[in-house]
Amino acid sequence: MDPRTLLKGLHPLEIKVLLSFKPGDSLDSSRLQSQLGYVEGQANQAQAWLSAKGLAAETGRVSSAVYELTPLGRTWLESGTPEQRMVAYLAKGPAAMPDICKALGMEQKDAGSAYGRLAREGVLSMGQDKLVALADAGKDRRSAAVNALLAKADAAGGTLEDGMLSDGERALMGELAKKRGSGDAAFRAADRETVTWSLLDPAAELAELLRTEGVSGDEAGALTQAMLESGAWKTLSFRSYNIRSRPARLIPGRRNPYMQFLESVKDKLVSLGFEEFDGSMVETEFWNGDALFMPQFHSARDIHDVYYLAEPTKAKSIEEPFLSRVASAHENGGTTGSRGWGYGFDRDFTRRLVLRSQGTVLSARKLPTASVPGKYFGMARCFRYDKVDATHLSDFYQTEGIVLGEDVNLRTLLGFLEMFAVEVAGAKEVKYVPGYFPFTEPSIEVHIKHPVLGWFEMGGAGIFRPEVTEPLGVSVPVLAWGLGIDRIALMALGLNDIRELFSADIESVRLRRAQLA
Amino acid sequence: MPKIEVNEKLFFQLVGRSMAEAELELALTAAKAELDGFGTDGEGPAAERTIKIELNDTNRPDLWSTAGLARQLRVYSGGGMPQYPFFSSEGDKRQSEYRAVVDASVKDVRPYLAAFVISGKPISDAMLKDAIQTQEKLCANFGRKRKSVSMGLYRIELIKWPVSYKAVPPESAKFKPLGMDRELDLRSILSEHPKGKEYGHIIAGFPRFPLLTGADGGILSMAPVINSNDIGAVQVGDKDLLVEFTGTDFPSVALSANIVACDFFDAGYDIKPVAVDYPYDTPFGRSVTFPYYFQAPASVDSGKVSKLLGMSFSPDAVVAALSRMGVEAEAHGQYVRARTPEYRNDFLHQVDLVEDAMIGRGMDQFTPERPRDFTIGRLHPVELFTRRAKDVMVGMGYQEMVYAYLGSRRDYVERMNADGSDVLRVSNPMTENFELVRPSILPELLNSESVSSKAPYPHRIFEAGKVAFRDAKENYGASTRQRLGLLTCHAQADYNELAGVVSALLYYLGHDYSVTESDDPRFMAGRQARVVAGGKDVGVFGELNPQVLENWGITMPCAAGELDLEALM
């Protein structure tokens, strides 16, 4: 690599090595520590980075033993070795082994091996009575040596290198240290490799360049507030950063892409002159079905389609005059011009509470206070008795709306649906087929063509039946429409499982990218 | 919405010609039907293939059979108006060689009976399958799971006339029900036969059960539950079948009979009437000969058609469009008077004829028109306020979440250390996982934590959405509110962090607030506060109780809160 390019990427740790040593000098971690004041980690980094740049190479590797103080070793350091504690205890008089263990909180095998060692040295003895007695405390020289070794290790930061040990200490260490299973040993023995390395020839050229450029490795890192206040920055030189290093992961605050999509639909509808409505998630059979002219025995109203509330089970009352008018519409048409369904309307059943199963409920509820002309919409969470899978949820959003006007008609409805198809779903092709909904007549379904997925149903629409509008006080035609918004959202977000829209998984929501138009 | 299977050969034979998939799909739109499966059962001959079709119109049970659906397609494509000469009507009774007598004992149990005889040729495999399918679909959807209409088929050669329809004590009669070779009394059938278990509840509460018998006492069936295993066991090749309908709603019973009679007539069978004598008054008199044309004519103002469809329809144009739908009509001034077809009874209002005129004219004839009325669009005030709150939350580093609104007692109550007294419960949950409406957003936020321990920390999440709970003051005994739930989860998450967030949020929402002591068991004692703004309690926040965290399997400290956005507006 070109030396100048190389130079820009050098870290101060590398620069100082390049300026301090010549190719061929034998380097190792301890030399860098003593001569450049590096800590061990910095020394190793300098070597690794220089080697990666082809400026240094390993020349040798020496393995030597090191001994690290274990937690047990530290306990001994604080409260004495088992031998010392046993000797101290027996100074108060002879005792049986089990009592010694109990008093000192030792395991029998540890106490046994301590006794064995002390008995061999003639420190302890056991009489006929099986009591252990102190024979000659002065003969316990080993404990003092062990203590000295523990203290030496502690003073050296917990680790002793083999080179730091005398022959006597090395022999004792052999008894105290274990390589594996060091939980019951005072020291853990390990091998440490010392790597020797040296700079390669290109390093000399680079060092020359550094000198020419006046780069010392002492360049400032961060521009600090103090430098700005004092003006020190004027005389400092600042090191270049490696601009290609990977940036840290940032976790920003963020909107949910699905909700953003829903809001974008709301904004589109508002821009088309629609006013938003909202309402209770708990509804009565009256508004959820009866007001929509669905006969009380309609199959979409039974236990396998709608969720009933267990408690409370019924509304206290239903608003008049709507209740009486809707009841007549069902029974004989009332004043709606219909012959009705011809059955006895159940005024008790109509108070039963359900979880709103269709957004049209809110459209019906809006009718009594709606203006003419008027356009209204709602995005309502609805509840259905459905098995949850990739295309069904037990609760989901429905987007529904109404248009009231003296002169609105089927073709105006198609006009709205075409606008939704283009503006909301981004469709290029739209087609309409006859449909069926209990509350609209005529009814149609809207199909749109997705560039990849082909034709699919965007929603349903129609003109509210007079049996719906008249009892609620509306005598002009009312266009009613609903969009399968979750399905359109899946396409907009590039997902194919509706459950993902309501995902609880924080990371998947964080990383999701919206593909909004 | 019913889904049916039709025999491909029989279907196209009745339509008048074969169609390819795309053509059939288009043609079906005139019947509000969708192709559900075509050519999916292999390469065999058409006589062995079936087409699966979904019917969307629950008011058109005449379309739920092979012949009925084929009729709509045939007529729509110019196949001519079908004629059914076998119908009796008020003041015009057909001669009948068969008679059935209704006993007064069924009046309060299942009062209506309609019947006719199929004759002329042996019943084919395809038509028998279709009749069984009709029996299922018609009686399940239109007949409200046999409650208001049920249907039976019988072998005439074993019947002694007149047939009698009466209600008898359940222990007084026994017969071999279809599919069984031992005799059971009527009550035992309800507990031992699969159909008895399925439909027995319709009659179980009555002291007497409805029974159809021949003049010799031979049992045809126990309506609406099960046929007998001899007279009621119809097989391919049987000639001359009795078709019978019983039920609680006379127009529905009569219409069902009409539909099946028209279907068999279209398929080339003769229909022979059955005279039924009632000892009590019925909407159609005491002596009714079936099939019986009872439907009233309907009429529509051609001006109304033009106004609702946004296209000019002369009275003659309405007549033409209706005739394409199989509805005979004639113009009287600007009105059009339509004869309801024998197999339909769905003209409740003028608008029902308007829709038939729309389909008859053809959807492709209607071009979209831009609306002209000017109205001002507006977001709901709650939505506007919620958006303000969400913007502030995002600015403070919170990720917005969107959650489901139904959950389990375990998640919403037990794991939250809550007593659940304010929770709305569903009485017919699909599973216990969707039994409660969420009373709070916090369980959903904790659920997120419980599944996201591998996501890099810190986690700062929120949701603005609805909750609902019991509220005795309300007419519905329940309230729906818009709330904001927020949660921070990382090694240093604590009360103070959240206190700072709540403070900033309320500042930007324009509120001074104060905090008061709180003893919500979801949070740690002494590390939680109620938020009071404008004299109202608007929410709570604090460090989550470690017991709650343990309940959710969360091992990272969490602080969370919930504010009532509507109370802050």
pLDDT digits (tens, 9 = 90+) for A258-273: 999 999 999 999 999 9
Which has the closest alpha carbon to B31: B83, B70, B81?
B70
Q: How confident is the model at residue A193 (pLDDT cuts 50, 70, 90)?
A: confident
Interior CA angle at A318 toward A312 and A324, to 5°? 145
Which candidate from A308, A341, A411 shows the least CB-CB separation from B366? A411
Question: Cβ contact (<8 Å) for A507 and B375?
Answer: no
Report yes or no: B499 and B518 within 8 Å, Cβ to Cβ: no
Span A467-500, pLDDT tens digits: 999 999 999 999 999 998 988 888 888 888 899 9
pLDDT at B342: 96
d(CA B223, CA B156): 18
Check: CB of residue A366 under 8 Å from CB of residue A473.
Answer: no
CA atoms within 13 A on the CB side of A245: 7
Q: B239 to chain A nearest CA, in Å?
A: 35
Question: Which residues 308-337 on chain A approach chain B with CB closer than 8 angstroms?
Answer: 308-313, 315-317, 333, 336-337
Residue A302 scores a pLDDT above 80: no
Q: What is the CATH number of domain B1-82?
A: 3.30.56.10
Q: What is the pLDDT of residue A423?
A: 85
Distance from CA of A221 to the nearest CA of B (A): 28
Q: Which residue has the higher pLDDT, A219 or B111?
A: B111
**B402 and A502: CB-CB below 8 Å?**
yes
State residue A517's pLDDT score: 46
Of B439, B564, B444, nearest in space to B505 by CA: B564
Of A336, A388, A410, the CB nearest to B310: A410
The pLDDT of residue A303 is 65
Structure tokens at A54: 């082809």
Q: Which residues contact A10 (CB under 8 A, 6 or more apart)?
A: A18, A210, A215
pLDDT digits (tens, 9 = 90+) for B191-246: 999 999 999 999 999 999 999 999 999 999 998 999 999 888 889 999 899 999 99
Does domain B84-293 fall under CATH 3.40.1800.10? My reply is: no
Q: Which of A339, A341, A505 sits opposite B451 (nearest CB)?
A: A505
| Nearest-by-CA chain B residue for A407 | B307
| Edge-to-edge strand list for the sheet holding B399-400 | B399-400, B459-470, B478-489, B558-564, B536-544, B523-533, B513-517
For residue A104, what is the enclosing H or E element? Answer: helix A97-104
* Cα Rg of chain A (Å, integer): 43
Residue A504: closest C-alpha in chain B: B448
Contact B375 A373 (CB under 8 A): yes
As a CATH number, domain B381-568 is: 3.30.930.10
B34 touches B54 (CB < 8 A)? yes
Q: Smallest Cβ distance to A385: which of B307, B310, B430?
A: B430
Tens of pLDDT, residue by residue over B305-327, are: 999 999 999 999 999 999 999 99
Cβ-contact B369, B310 below 8 angstroms: yes
Contact criterion met (CB below 8 Å) for B559 and B493: yes
Amino acid at B389: A
SS3 A194: strand
Give CA B74 to chain center in angstroms. 28
Predicted confidence (pLDDT) per residue in B519-567, tens digit: 999 999 999 999 999 999 999 999 999 999 999 999 999 999 999 999 9
Taking CA atoms, B372 is separated from A130, A421, B507, in Å, by 113, 19, 44
Ordered structural domains, chain A, with CATH? 69-193 (1.10.10.10), 259-511 (3.30.930.10)
Minimum-distance CB partner of B32 among A297, A436, A501: A436
- Amino acid of residue A333: G
- Cα separation, A322 vs A468, in Å, equals 10
Q: Which residue has the higher pLDDT, A176 or B83?
A: B83
**Residues A400 and A359 sit within 8 Å (Cβ to Cβ):** yes
Q: How confident is the model at residue A64, as a pLDDT?
A: 82
**Strand B98-102 relative to strand B270-277, pairing:** parallel
Flag whether pLDDT at B515 surpasses 70. Answer: yes
Interface check A307 vs B, CB under 8 A: yes
Q: Give helix B250-266 / helix B125-137 axis angle, nearest 10°.
A: 160
User: Rounded to an integer, what distance in angstroms lies between the CA atom of residue A28 and that of residue A40?
Assistant: 10
Instruction: State whether residue A412 sits within 8 Å of chain B by CB.
Output: yes
| Helix, strand, coil share (%) of chain A residues, nearest 5 | 45, 20, 35
Interface test with B, best of A384, A506, A511, A512 (most B CBs within 10 A): A506
Spatial neighbors of A302 by CB under 8 A, at least 6 apart, are none
Q: Would the CB atoms of A504 and B444 count as touching at under 8 Å?
A: yes
**B421-471: pLDDT as tens digits:** 999 999 999 899 999 999 999 999 999 999 999 999 999 999 999 999 999
- Choose the weakest-confidence range: A153-157, B402-406, B514-518: A153-157
| From B310, B349, B480, residue closest to A337, measured CB to CB | B349
CA atoms of B407 and B199, how far apart (whole Å):
33
Please state, as a whole number, how many other Cβ atoms lie within 10 Å of the Cβ of residue A369.
Answer: 11
* SS3 state of residue B332: strand
Residue ranges, comma separated, of all CATH 3.30.56.10 domains in chain B are: 1-82, 298-363
Residue A515's pLDDT is 61
Portions of chain B given CATH number 3.50.40.10: 84-293
Tell me whether residues A274 and B375 touch, CB distance under 8 A: yes
Closest Cα to residue A476, out of B308, B417, B403?
B308
Please tell me whether residue B145 adopts helix, strand or coil conformation.
coil
The secondary structure of residue B295, as a DSSP letter, is P
Helix (H, G, I), strand (E, B) or coil at B533: strand
Strand partners, B293: B89
Chain B residues inside the 8 Å CB shell of A443: 355
Domain B298-363, CATH? 3.30.56.10
Given an 8 Å threshold on Cβ–Cβ distance, is A381 in contact with B454? no
B367–A411: do the CB atoms touch at under 8 Å? yes
Nearest-10 crossing angle of helices A29-36, A40-52? 110
Per-residue confidence (pLDDT) for residue A514, from 0 to 100:
67
Contact assignment for A375 to B375 by CB distance below 8 Å:
yes
Give the mean model confidence (pLDDT) for residues A339-360.
94
User: Within its chain, how far is the Cα of B485 from the centroid?
Assistant: 36
pLDDT > 60? residue B499: yes
Token reading at A59: 């020349």
Place of tokens 């034998």: A26
| A310 with B400: Cβ contact below 8 A | no
Best of A369, A433, A507 to disrupt the B interface by mutation (most B CBs within 10 Å)?
A433
Kindly report the three-state secondary structure assignment for every residue of A50-100.
HHHCCCEEEEEEEEEEEEEECHHHHHHHHHCCHHHHHHHHHCCCCEEHHHH
Q: How far out from the chain centre does Cα A389 lie?
A: 24
Q: What stretch(es) of chain B map to CATH 3.30.930.10?
A: 381-568
